[in-house]
Amino acid sequence: MSGEVVLTNARIVAPDEVFDGTVVLRAGRIAHIDQGRSQLPTAQDLEGDLLLPGLVDVHTDNLEKHMMPRPGVRWSSRAALLAHDAQVAAAGITTVLDALCVGEVEHADQRDQMFREGVAELRALAPRGLLRAEHLLHIRCEISVEGMQESFALVADDPLVRMVSLMDHTPGVGQFADIEKFKRKNAKSLGMSEAEAEAYIARRWAMRARVRDANRAAILEAVAGRGIPLASHDDRTAEEVEEWASAGIGISEFPVTAEAAHAARALGMGIVAGAPNVVRGGSHSGNVRAADLIREDLVDVLASDYVPAAMLNAAFLLHDRLHLPLPQAVATVTRKPALMVGLDDRGAIAPDLRADLVQVHLADGHPLVRQVWREGRRIA
């Protein structure tokens, strides 16, 4: 029995049902799943709590938030990665794609520097077993700005890259389609007058005209044939979605309108929505409500976006408020994201899959993470 872990008296959330049972972990994998309680004296009693697969997060900006906890305030990159890692593990996330940006819109954001330092620290710490969760990379390519290709080249061949998204945050496009709203919100934060904001927007459009198509083509060429999932970002119109799909992009990430989500579904694209949108009851940017898309079967995967704890909360809200069966709700943050990025060895409680598991206690209906295992080893 050396190296074996037995978890018993659990409500197991399996792919198609929830039942009282026991899970046996061996050599980092799920060895057996049995109905009922184990009588082994070494079995760990989970006291009737739910046992879920470890969560898989395909998009989180949380590392950047730790690297710059306030505007203009930089934190130690290593300390930031370790704090981020502890936070995602405590949220039940056992596999996380750290979403780092290539292509810097504003130098003050320091996103290019955070990308370079974040990748360097991940390469340094992960092989030494110093991180709780498994960290992979989601590279977000800002195709409307200069310098993007040079930064992408630093990770173009890195096996840690498991997803690439193409985004365009030019005022008047996607999430920022309402230019007047952009002026009101962003000009103030950038300390601009209205005239300065208009000049800034003009400069952004001029740069977009110079570099967007070349950047887009370069990323598509670099990723072609490598099996790396490609996503569009903040899709607004059916025409945008169709353009991306025709280029071979298979995922629509955070569509900002129902029109875009319907177009993505019709074209067979995977659809990612933000878990914070579900938890808050709407988009912080005033875009489409994720819950409305879910009611129309227009969401496959929920990602943490900027709040790691939102994933588990959102899954239970889908079950409690939208009345999705619990296995189906849990799959949006476990098995479906795992399959979306080609990780078919995890995301479900089934024999021979990785023993990535989360013990969840419901405290007045709110999911509380009590223990987390990654490959059979407790990490939280």
- Reported as a single tens digit per residue, the pLDDT across 266-279 is 999 999 999 999 99
- Counting every residue written for the chain, the total comes to 380
Contact 308, 60 (CB under 8 A): yes
* 137: β partners: 98, 161
pLDDT, one tens digit per residue, over 224-246 is 999 999 999 999 999 999 999 99
* Confidence at residue 177, expressed as pLDDT on a 0 to 100 scale: 64
Q: Is residue 362 part of a domain?
A: no
Domain tally, the chain: 1
Q: Is residue 27 part of a domain?
A: no
**CB within 8 A of 302, min separation 6: which ones?**
272, 273, 274, 275, 278, 290, 311, 314, 315, 332, 333, 337
Structure-block tokens of residue 3: 């190296």
Contact 148, 142 (CB under 8 A): yes
* Confidence at residue 169, expressed as pLDDT on a 0 to 100 scale: 81
Helix (H, G, I), strand (E, B) or coil at 163: strand
Q: Is residue 4 part of a domain?
A: no
* Confidence at residue 198, expressed as pLDDT on a 0 to 100 scale: 80
**CA–CA dist 367, 45 (Å, integer):** 18
Q: What is the pTM assigned to this prediction?
A: 0.94
* Confidence at residue 173, expressed as pLDDT on a 0 to 100 scale: 72
Q: Kindly give the parts of the chain with pLDDT less than 70.
A: 1-2, 107-108, 172, 174-178, 180-190
**CA–CA dist 33, 51 (Å, integer):** 12
What CATH number should be reported for the domain holding residue 134? 3.20.20.140
Q: Is residue 197 part of a domain?
A: no
Range of the domain at 310: 53-166+210-342
Contact 342, 227 (CB under 8 A): yes
Q: Is residue 269 part of a domain?
A: yes
Q: Is residue 353 part of a domain?
A: no
